[in-house]
């Protein structure tokens, strides 16, 4: 392959991605990643020749994305709440919708716990640690712990906490069992659990299905399996005054709301739509 100028590499990638029915914007993201530049820097270098070694690795990564590997895994990072988080194929790629969950949690904590005491927050199924780390950095009153069943995921989460200097304690275990076993009570439980029904999973795009971890995506036949398990465990760990915050799949809001209302009859439970108008979050304020 002959040496290309920056704009030629960008045009080639855009056209190649489009032909193969991938998002053509991925070309710019990957090129910026390889050149270690922001958008303005990239556009100011359009007429420069790409070094051959960089060109080869860029072309290779574009081909990998066409084969289905998500851009975020190729770059090893994704932005969440204005910060860069490491990601690998051991964790789900953080989504913008989950940023809305974090906003909702922070708002409700300030209303529900108006005094200055420490608030114990647990992020269940933390994956990359995006929720736990963000909560810890956004509100210094929060004492944040995070669990995940997979040690590989926890390693990524710990790297993110260290890189972003967030104080989070990580525990390996299934849902809330680490807290039940130690008889620990907490103020807030937040979770973005696996919620895709098994049948729906089969129809997902290859970029998601073939590369993101199955354990982080599928919530049994109905998609509600983890929420149902939470209803058995939450009463054992929550204090009398507490908040529960879940991300849910489209169309699951009312079902999850009913589960929470049945488990906590005195709670104020609401389904909140995301920026695209889809039911995406369910919050329960207890006590």
pLDDT tens readout for residues 60-90: 999 999 999 999 999 999 999 999 999 998 8
Percent of the chain at pLDDT exceeding 90: 85
Whole-number pLDDT of residue 216: 67
- Band (pLDDT 50/70/90 cuts) for residue 209 is low
Whole-number pLDDT of residue 222: 74
The answer to whether the annotation marks 195 as part of a ligand binding site is: yes
HSE value, Cβ hemisphere, 13 Å, CA-based, for 24? 10
The answer to whether the annotation marks 127 as part of a ligand binding site is: yes
The answer to whether the annotation marks 125 as part of a ligand binding site is: yes
pLDDT tens readout for residues 108-157: 999 999 888 999 999 999 999 999 999 999 999 999 999 999 999 999 99
Q: Which of 5-14, 38-47, 49-58, 206-215 shows the lowest per-residue confidence on average (mean pLDDT)?
A: 206-215
The answer to whether the annotation marks 192 as part of a ligand binding site is: yes
* Residue range 80-286, CATH number: 3.40.50.150
- Band (pLDDT 50/70/90 cuts) for residue 15 is very high
Q: What are phi and psi of 116, to 5 degrees?
A: -95, 5
Q: What angle do CA 66, 220, 285 make, to 5 degrees?
A: 105
HSE value, Cβ hemisphere, 13 Å, CA-based, for 209? 11
Domain locations along the chain: 6-67, 80-286
Q: DSSP characters for 120-183?
A: EEEEES-TTSHHHHHHHHH-TTEEEEEEES-HHHHHHHHHHHHHTT--EEEEESSTTHHHHHTT
pLDDT tens readout for residues 246-272: 999 989 999 999 999 999 999 999 999
Look at residue 211 and tell me whether its pLDDT is greater than 80.
Answer: no
The answer to whether the annotation marks 147 as part of a ligand binding site is: no
Query: What is the value of pTM for the model shown?
Result: 0.90
Look at residue 206 and tell me whether its pLDDT is greater than 90.
Answer: no
CB 146 within 8 A of CB 123: yes
pLDDT tens readout for residues 173-184: 999 999 999 999
The answer to whether the annotation marks 126 as part of a ligand binding site is: yes
The answer to whether the annotation marks 129 as part of a ligand binding site is: yes
Tokens of 136: 């810890």
Whole-number pLDDT of residue 51: 94
């Amino acid at each position: 392959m002959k040496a290309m100028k920056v704009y030629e590499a960008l045009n080639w990638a855009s056209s190649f991605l489009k032909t193969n029915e991938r998002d053509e914007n991925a070309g710019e993201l990957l090129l910026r990643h390889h050149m270690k530049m922001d958008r303005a820097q990239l556009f100011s270098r359009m007429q420069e020749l790409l070094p051959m070694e960089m060109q080869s690795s860029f072309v290779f990564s574009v081909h990998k994305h066409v084969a289905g590997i998500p851009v975020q895994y190729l770059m090893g990072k994704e932005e969440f709440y204005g910060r860069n988080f490491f990601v690998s194929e051991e964790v789900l790629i953080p989504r913008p919708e989950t940023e809305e969950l974090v906003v909702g949690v922070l708002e409700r904590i300030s209303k529900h716990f108006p005094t200055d005491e420490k608030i114990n927050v647990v992020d269940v199924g933390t994956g990359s640690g995006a929720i736990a780390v963000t909560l810890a950095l956004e509100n210094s009153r929060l004492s944040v712990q995070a669990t995940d069943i997979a040690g590989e995921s926890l390693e990524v989460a710990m790297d993110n906490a260290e890189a972003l200097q967030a104080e989070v304690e990580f525990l390996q275990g299934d849902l809330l069992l680490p807290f039940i076993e130690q008889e620990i009570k907490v103020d807030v439980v937040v979770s973005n659990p696996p919620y895709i029904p098994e049948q729906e999973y089969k129809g997902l795009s290859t970029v998601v299905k073939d590369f993101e971890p199955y354990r982080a995506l599928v919530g049994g036949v109905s998609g509600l399996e983890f929420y149902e398990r939470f209803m058995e465990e939450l009463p054992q760990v929550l204090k009398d005054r507490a908040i529960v915050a879940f991300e849910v799949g489209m169309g699951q809001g009312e079902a999850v709301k009913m589960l929470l209302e049945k488990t906590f009859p005195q709670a104020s439970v609401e389904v909140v739509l995301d920026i695209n108008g889809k039911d995406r979050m369910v919050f329960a304020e207890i006590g």
